Chain A
Amino acid sequence: MELQLGLALPPPPLIPIETFDLNSYGNYETREALGTNALSWPLLKLGPADNDINNIHHHNSSSSSSSSGGGAGCKKRSFDEAPFFDEKRNVPKTLHLLLWTNQPNDEDDDPSNVLHENSSSAIFKNDGEGLVGWPPVKTWRKKVHHQIPNGGAENNCLPAVENGIGGRASKSTYVKVKMEGVPIARKIDLSVHHSFEGLTNTLMRMFGISDGNRKSFKLTYQDREGDWLLAEDVPWRTFIRSLKCLKLIRSRG
C-alpha cells in the first residue's frame, strides 16, 4: 500500500484536480473518480424530501472543480490556555496523512480477506455462545435470560453466564458457589485455599452442612468451556486454573 504523506499546509502545492482534496467536507469527487455518476445511486423514495438528495448530489458535482485546497490555517493554541477541546473551533482541516487516491480495494491486502484471517485468530467464542460482545447486551443483563422457565428445569448455566468469559470478573479471586436446592448463591475466595480439603471444609461451614452429611454432597465446577465436571476428578492446579464457578450437588447413591 502506498502511503503519501500529505502534511503540507495550505495552499497544497501541485495537487492535480484528479487527486482528491479531502479538506472540504461533503466532497463527492471520490464517487466521480470511480466513474459512477452521483445520480446513479437509486433515489430514496421519501416523498417531498426526495429533492433534498437530488439537490445535494447536484450541488456537489458542480462545486467539485472549484474546491480549492485547504481550510484556514489553524490558530496555535498553547496547552495551558486551550479549553478542553471545544470541537466547534478551528478544525485543522489541512492535515491528512494520506491523499485519497481511491483505488478500489482490490490490492493485495484486500480488507475482506484480511478481516477473515483476522477473525479466525482474534475473535474467541464466548462460552460457545457466538461472537464476543454480540449481541451488545451488558454482562449483567445476560443473567435475566437464563431465568426463563425452561420446562421448569433449573438452568445450570446461570453462574457461568454471570461470570462471563473474558469479562470483568476474571481478575477477582472470588467465585460463585451454589448449592443444589438453595436459591441464593454465595461467593468464596479461592486465593486462601490450597487444597480440596480446605475448600470443602469452608463450603461445608458456609452452607451449614454437618460432618455427618458431608458424604451426601459432591463438589462440581464449571470450567471455561462451559462443561460441568467433578472436582475430585482433577488435580488442584487444573481445577483452580479452569474453574469458573462451583456447585454442591447431592450425590446419588
Chain B
Amino acid sequence: MHKKMAFSFPDEVLEHVFSFIQSDKDRNAVSMVCKSWYEIERWCRRKVFVGNCYAVSPRMVIRRFPEFRSIELKGKPHFADFNLVPDGWGGYVFPWIAEMAGAYPWLEEIRLKRMVVTDESLELIAKSFKNFKVLVLSSCEGFSTDGLAAIAASCKNLKELDLRDCEVDDLSAHWLSHFPETYTSLVSLNISCLGSDEASFSALERLVHRCTNLKTLRLNRAVPLDKIANILRHAPQLVEFGTGTYTADVRPDVYSDLAGVLSSCKELKSLSGFWDVIPDYLPAIYPVCSKLTSLNLSYATIQSPDLIKLVSHCPNLQRLLVLDYIEDSGLEVLASSCKDLQELRVFPSDPFGAEPNVSLTEQGLVAVSLGCPKLQSVLYFCRRMSNEALVTIARSRPNFTRFRLCIIEPKTADYLTLEPLDVGFGAIVQYCKDLRRLSLSGLLTDRVFEYIGTYAKKLEMLSVAFAGDSDLGLHHVLSGCESLRKLEIRDCPFGDKALLANAAKLETMRSLWMSSCAVSFAACKLLGQKMPRLNVEVIDERGPPDSRPENCPVDKLYIYRSIAGPRFDMPPFVWTMDEDSGLRLS
C-alpha cells in the first residue's frame, strides 16, 4: 500500500503558521523538527537575536536568515557596566552594519546592547537602510551627536530612537534640527543620557509638535522645567514621559503651567527623570499618579516623607525604581498602597559611604515581599541582612523570577546570628522555583552553591562576588544548574578544578566571566586547546600571561561558546587561547 506522508503541508501554509511564532526559543525549536521545516523557518524568520556578537559571524547569520528585518545584538559582558571590562575590549558593531548594508537594504530595526557604535556606523545605517524604523542603543558608547544627526537627516521612516544609558559625545544639541520639517513619524524618543549642554529647545518643541504619534518621550537633564510645559502642551497623547531637570528658575506660574499640562495627558502611564527635584514641585504630578504603572525616581534625591506622599497617590503602580531615601517606612507604605507592584529597584544614595546614611534595612524588603502579591523582580541595595528575613521573603513570595540582592559591604554576615547567609539564599532558591536570575552577596560559603545547584533548576543567570570557599562551590553550580546560561563571578576562590571538570557545561552556556579568582593560565590554555567551540579569552592588563609562571592566576577570564572561531579585533591586553597554545603538563 502506498503510504503518503500526511504531514507535508504546502510551504506557504507552514510559513503562515510559523508567522505566529515570535520567540527565538520557539523558532529554534521549530527549525529542529526536520530539514524542510528548517528551510522554511529560516526564510521566514524576521527577527534575529544574537546574545553574544562574537558567538557567530555576520556572514553566518545572513547566510542562514536571508530575509530578516530586525536584529538584536549584545556585545560586552554584563560586568562591563561596573568598569570591570577594560576599554577597548571589543564589541564593535561596524562589521555587522557593513555586512548587512551590503546584504539587504530593507533592514528596519537594530537593537544593540553594550556595543561600541561609531559615528561611521550610524552614518552607514542612515545611508544603507531606506526603510529604517527602529534604533535602540542600550548602554552603548563610541558615537557622538554627529552620528545622530546623520540618522535624523536620512531616516524618513524612523519611528523609534532610544539611547538608554549610552555614553554619547555631546558635540552639539543641534542634531535635533536635522530631522526635516516634513518628518512626522516619531513614536518613541529617549535622549535621557545626553549631556548637560545647552539643548535646542525650539527644535525639540517643533519636533514634538509635528510628530502626533509620539508615545514615548524621555528628555535629558538639560531641559529645564519651564520648557517642559511648552513641550508637553503639544503632546497630550504621551504614554511615557521623562522629565528633564526640575530646577532652573522656577516661578509659580511655571509650576501651575506644568500641573495643568500634565493633567491633560490622559494616557500617561510612565514617568521618569526627576533630576534635581525639589519636593515643593512634586505635587504638580499628582493629577496623573492614579494612572501610573511605572515610576522611575532613581535620580530624585528627595526624602522619605515626600516619597511616601507621592507613592501613596499611585495605587496602580507596577514598577518602581527609587533611591534608598525611601527607607523602610516608605517601603511599608508602598506595600500597603501598591498591590499591583511587580518590580522594585532600590538604589543606594551613598554607595561608597562607610556608614548607613538612611534607615533602609532588610525590613523594607520583607515588608514589600509580604505585602505585594505580584512582586516578581527585585534589585535591592542595603547594608544588612539576616537569614530569617530571607527565609520570610522566600516563603511569602515564591513567585520571584529575578532576585538581586546587594549587601554593600562584601562578606557581611547575618547581622543577628553572625552566620553566613547560605541558609537564607538557600531558601530563596528552594521556594522560588521559577527563579531565572539571582545575584548573591554577603558572607557565603560553598554551602549556598550546593543549595543553588540542588534547587535552582530554572536559573539562567547567576552573579557572584566575594563568596565561596573552594572549587566545590563552583562545581555545584556548574554541575547542578541545568538552565544556566550566564555566570559571572568576581573575587571568589574558584580555581582550575571545577572549571576543567565541567568543561562540557560551558558549551551549553552563553558565557562565563571570572575575574580576580584563582584560575591559572595553564588551565585557560588547556580549555582553549581542548574545546574548539569555546573562545577562552584571558584579559590581563599586567602584561602577557606567559611572562608569568603558568600556575599564576589570570586577572580576568571570559569564556563563551562560538561557532565563529576566535576573533581578530582584540586589544593588546586580551589573548584568546586556542588549539595552538602549547600545552605543557605539569
Taking Cβ atoms with an 8 Å cutoff, the residues of A that contact B are 1-3, 5, 7, 22, 25-27, 30, 41, 44, 46-47, 49, 52-53, 56, 79-87, 89, 91-100, 102, 104-105, 109, 111-112, 114-115, 118-119, 121-123, 126, 129-142, 144-145, 147-149, 164-172, 174, 183-187
Establish whether residues A86 and B350, one from each chain, have CB atoms under 8 Å apart when the complex forms: no
Q: Does B226 contact A (CB under 8 A)?
A: no
Which of B323, B490, B540, B563 is within 8 Å of A144, CB to CB? Answer: B323
Establish whether residues B490 and A168, one from each chain, have CB atoms under 8 Å apart when the complex forms: no
Q: Does B320 contact A (CB under 8 A)?
A: no
Q: Provide a sorted-by-A list of 16 A–B residue pairs whose CB atoms are within 8 angstroms.
A: A1-B586, A3-B586, A46-B391, A47-B395, A79-B563, A87-B483, A87-B509, A96-B503, A100-B501, A109-B520, A111-B493, A111-B495, A122-B542, A133-B79, A137-B82, A140-B193
Contacts of A89 in B (CB 8 A): 32
Q: Does B349 contact A (CB under 8 A)?
A: yes
Could you tell me the distance between the alpha carbons of A44 and B502 in the complex, rounded to whole angstroms? 28
Contacts of B501 in A (CB 8 A): 22, 96-100
Of A41, A46, A134, A147, which is in contact with the most chain B CB atoms at under 10 Å from its CB? A134
Q: Does B530 contact A (CB under 8 A)?
A: yes
Q: Could you tell me the distance in whole angstroms from the C-beta of A149 to the nearest C-beta in chain B?
A: 8
Q: Could you tell me the distance in whole angstroms from the C-beta of B193 to the nearest C-beta in chain A?
A: 7
Establish whether residues A85 and B561, one from each chain, have CB atoms under 8 Å apart when the complex forms: yes
Q: Does B580 contact A (CB under 8 A)?
A: no
Could you tell me the distance between the alpha carbons of A7 and B349 in the complex, rounded to whole angstroms? 51
Contacts of B82 in A (CB 8 A): 132-134, 136-139
Which of A84, A94, A104, A112 is within 8 Å of B28, CB to CB? Answer: A84
Q: Does B196 contact A (CB under 8 A)?
A: yes
Establish whether residues B167 and A169, one from each chain, have CB atoms under 8 Å apart when the complex forms: yes
Stretch of B13-21, B208-216, B464-472 at the chain-chain interface: B464-472
Q: Does B87 contact A (CB under 8 A)?
A: yes
Which of B56, B351, B472, B553 is within 8 Å of A118, CB to CB? Answer: B553
Known: A93-B504, A115-B517. A30 touches B88 (CB 8 A): no
Q: Could you tell me the distance in whole angstroms from the C-beta of A84 to the nearest C-beta in chain B?
A: 6
Residue of B nearest to A41 (CB): B447
Contacts of B256 in A (CB 8 A): none
Contacts of B63 in A (CB 8 A): 80
Establish whether residues B351 and A82, one from each chain, have CB atoms under 8 Å apart when the complex forms: no
Contacts of A123 in B (CB 8 A): 516
Establish whether residues B490 and A111, one from each chain, have CB atoms under 8 Å apart when the complex forms: no
Stretch of B151-159, B331-339, B474-482 at the chain-chain interface: B474-482
Known: A25-B479, A30-B475, A141-B298. A166 touches B83 (CB 8 A): yes
Contacts of B142 in A (CB 8 A): 171
Establish whether residues A44 and B83, one from each chain, have CB atoms under 8 Å apart when the complex forms: no
Which 5 A-B residue pairs are closest in the complex by CB-CB distance? Answer: A133-B82, A98-B500, A95-B504, A111-B518, A111-B493
Contacts of B251 in A (CB 8 A): none
Which of B83, B454, B500 is within 8 Å of A26, CB to CB? Answer: B454
Establish whether residues B427 and A44, one from each chain, have CB atoms under 8 Å apart when the complex forms: yes
Q: Other than the known A98-B496, A141-B298, A171-B142, what 18 A-B pairs have Cβ atoms closer than 8 Å?
A: A1-B520, A44-B430, A46-B395, A46-B431, A53-B454, A80-B64, A83-B31, A85-B561, A89-B32, A95-B504, A109-B495, A114-B495, A131-B410, A135-B351, A135-B381, A137-B348, A137-B381, A145-B348
Q: Could you tell me the distance in whole angstroms from the C-beta of A180 to the nearest C-beta in chain B?
A: 16
Establish whether residues B352 and A130, one from each chain, have CB atoms under 8 Å apart when the complex forms: yes
Residue of B nearest to A74 (CB): B504
Residue of B nearest to A143 (CB): B299
Q: Does B25 contact A (CB under 8 A)?
A: yes
Could you tell me the distance between the alpha carbons of A139 and B114 in the complex, rounded to whole angstroms? 13
Q: Mark B376-394, 1 if CB is under 8 A from A, else 0.
A: 0000010000000001000
Number of A-B contacts (CB under 8 A): 238
Contacts of A118 in B (CB 8 A): 516, 518, 553, 555
Establish whether residues B86 and A96, one from each chain, have CB atoms under 8 Å apart when the complex forms: no
Q: Which of B390-429 contact A (CB under 8 A)?
A: 391, 395, 406, 408, 410, 423, 426-427
Known: A22-B479, A26-B453, A49-B430. A112 touches B493 (CB 8 A): yes
Q: Could you tell me the distance in whole angstroms from the C-beta of B461 to the nearest C-beta in chain A?
A: 13
Known: A98-B496, A135-B348. A105 touches B406 (CB 8 A): no
Contacts of A149 in B (CB 8 A): 301
Which of A1, A86, A135, A140 is within 8 Å of B551, CB to CB? Answer: A1
Could you tell me the distance between the alpha carbons of A185 and B197 in the complex, rounded to whole angstroms? 7
Of A22, A123, A170, A183, which is in contact with the most chain B CB atoms at under 10 Å from its CB? A22
Establish whether residues A138 and B165, one from each chain, have CB atoms under 8 Å apart when the complex forms: yes
Which of B503, B523, B540 is within 8 Å of A95, CB to CB? Answer: B503
Contacts of A174 in B (CB 8 A): 169
Q: Could you tell me the distance in whole angstroms from the C-beta of B500 to the nearest C-beta in chain A?
A: 4
Establish whether residues A145 and B349, one from each chain, have CB atoms under 8 Å apart when the complex forms: yes
Establish whether residues B470 and A105, one from each chain, have CB atoms under 8 Å apart when the complex forms: yes
Known: A41-B447, A99-B501, A184-B198. A137 touches B347 (CB 8 A): yes
Establish whether residues A119 and B491, one from each chain, have CB atoms under 8 Å apart when the complex forms: yes
Q: Could you tell me the distance in whole angstroms from the C-beta of B114 to the nearest C-beta in chain A?
A: 10
Q: Does B497 contact A (CB under 8 A)?
A: yes
Contacts of B427 in A (CB 8 A): 44, 46
Contacts of A95 in B (CB 8 A): 503-504
Establish whether residues A115 and B493, one from each chain, have CB atoms under 8 Å apart when the complex forms: yes
Residue of B nearest to A60 (CB): B454
Residue of B nearest to A185 (CB): B196
Could you tell me the distance between the alpha carbons of A135 and B197 in the complex, rounded to whole angstroms? 29
Could you tell me the distance between the alpha carbons of A123 and B294 in the complex, rounded to whole angstroms? 38
Q: Could you tell me the distance in whole angstroms from the C-beta of A197 to the nearest C-beta in chain B?
A: 23
